[in-house]
Amino acid sequence: MSSFQYVVLGGGNASGYAAHRFVKNGLGPGQLCIITDEPHVAYERPALSKAFLFPDKPARLPGFHTCVGMGLERQDAEWYKSKGIEYRTNTKVTEVDLGRKNLKTEGGDSVGYEKLVVATGARPVYLSDFKVPGAELEGIYYLRNIVDGERLIHAMADAKKAGNKAVVIGGGYIGMECTAALCKNGLDVTMVFPEDHLMERLFTPEMAGFYESVYGSKGVVMEKKKLVTELRGENGKVTTAVLNDGRKLPADIVLVGTGARANTQLFDGKLEMDAGGIKVNSKFQTSNPDVYAVGDVAAFPLLMYGGRTQRQEHVTNCRLSAFHAVDAITAPDKTGDYDYLPYFYSRIFNLSWQFYGRNKGTAINFGKQSDGSFGCYWVDDGKVVGAFMESGSDEQNHAIKAVAKVRPDAPPDLAAQGISFALQIGTEVKL
């Protein structure tokens, strides 16, 4: 049995940023062990649905190891070794004994800890979870790690040699970003999703209409308010996606982006759960005082919105929650409460949008979509609680962040003021 002062379980974004913070806070050699079942040390996972899939100048490791996403030092395997951090890749933990502070691995090893940071992230929602016939066929892909991404790259090349037909299931982040990548690779894509329009959890119908027109101009066909109820194949490989109206779509490749679920299995019945994840306080401490949880798996109180417990599946929260938890572990008396401002962004084709705050209340669209730069405010109880901007400048993106942070009173002519309202707030607020 080996034992460490700190163990981070999981090898996603959060683990890399946790390691950075431990080192910054004075970590000594031999004090930290990171355990992951992935073959690589931590990397910037958002790249997988973007530049990693690009046909020209694709992103590849070691280029996007953490912590380059925040402009910090790139942490490849040698970096961890140089800091005296034991990083165990290809290692699956099968059992956690919180009483004995011990982890057991599939290979039979035992790893002890004084403080444990759970950074197990989330896994895709699989078609088999919905009991879709044919879900086990070859040619069906999900995207959560580099192994998935490498398989998808090969699959796109094979599909182009066949019928060149791709079906994407889902109209959210993964669906939209992967559809853009499939288009860039020259495939004919049909998107299938049950909602009325793209990104229904965030976009207004007017906003969605803009992006749907962009995808349409790239040849993408959208099957809205539809479900894939069956997948059929030949010789064990998918060839057809069957819709709930009976129509059949040819499919040389099927990519599924129907959401994610937190990886809590090792801690079910051992730690308190909430909002689909491991419940933590504002220091990311779980119901066990020696166990912390960060990133996608952590259900934390969103203080600026009344402390409602929720998970935030976004890389920014992964990074910042890792920093905060490590600070709370190493300097508890100097670490305050985590006060997170929800933030989401995406890049597709030559477009890039950012959103801060909450999309709650009345949506106020502004700007002209024809100019390629437009946005939206959300007003709730007289306050501007959320702001969105497509193709914004650095100044404009700072401004909408300031608005969401301050939540100012909404003027009656908010739509007419447009981005100028946020820009004024931005000059007055230092973030």
Domains assigned to the chain: 2-123+261-334 (3.50.50.60), 127-258 (3.50.50.60), 350-428 (3.30.390.30)
Q: Phi-psi region for residue 368, left (φ > 0), alpha (ψ -120 to 50) or beta?
A: beta
Backbone angles phi and psi of 167, in degrees to 5: -120, 125
Q: Tell me, what DSSP letter sits at residue 49? A: G
For the chain, the first-to-last Cα distance in angstroms comes to 46
Q: Measured in whole angstroms, how far is the alpha carbon of residue 246 from the centre of its chain? A: 33
Q: Cα angle vertex 41, ends 38, 43, to 5°?
A: 100
pLDDT at position 303: 96
Q: Tell me, what DSSP letter sits at residue 126? A: P
pLDDT at position 126: 97
pLDDT at position 370: 85
pLDDT at position 1: 86
Question: CB under 8 Å to 177, separation ≥6 — which residues?
Answer: 49, 50, 346, 347, 348
pLDDT at position 428: 86
Instruction: DSSP for 197-235, please give it.
Output: STTTTT--HHHHHHHHHHHHHTT-EEEET--EEEEEEET
Q: Cα angle vertex 175, ends 169, 180, to 5°?
A: 125
pLDDT at position 315: 96
pLDDT digits (tens, 9 = 90+) for 264-282: 999 999 999 999 999 999 9
How far is it, in rounded angstroms, from Cα 335 to Cα 337? 7
pLDDT at position 198: 98
Q: Cα angle vertex 410, ends 408, 411, to 5°?
A: 125
Asked if the bond preceding 46 is cis, omega within 30° of 0, the reply is: no
CB 6 within 8 A of CB 29: no
Collect the ranges in the chain with pLDDT lower than 50.
Answer: none
Strand partners, 377: 364, 387
CB 371 within 8 A of CB 389: no
pLDDT at position 376: 98
**Coil, strand or helix: which one is 346?**
strand
User: In the β-sheet with 351-357, what is the strand arrangement from edge to edge?
Assistant: 343-348, 351-357, 383-390, 373-380, 362-368
Backbone angles phi and psi of 106, in degrees to 5: -60, -30
Gyration radius (Cα) of the chain, Å: 22
pLDDT at position 174: 95
Place of tokens 């691995």: 105
pLDDT at position 254: 98
Strand 343-348 with 253-256, pairing: unpaired
Strand partners, 122: 262
Among 123, 106, 91, CA closest to 263: 123
How far is it, in rounded angstroms, from Cα 22 to Cα 40? 20
Model pTM score: 0.95
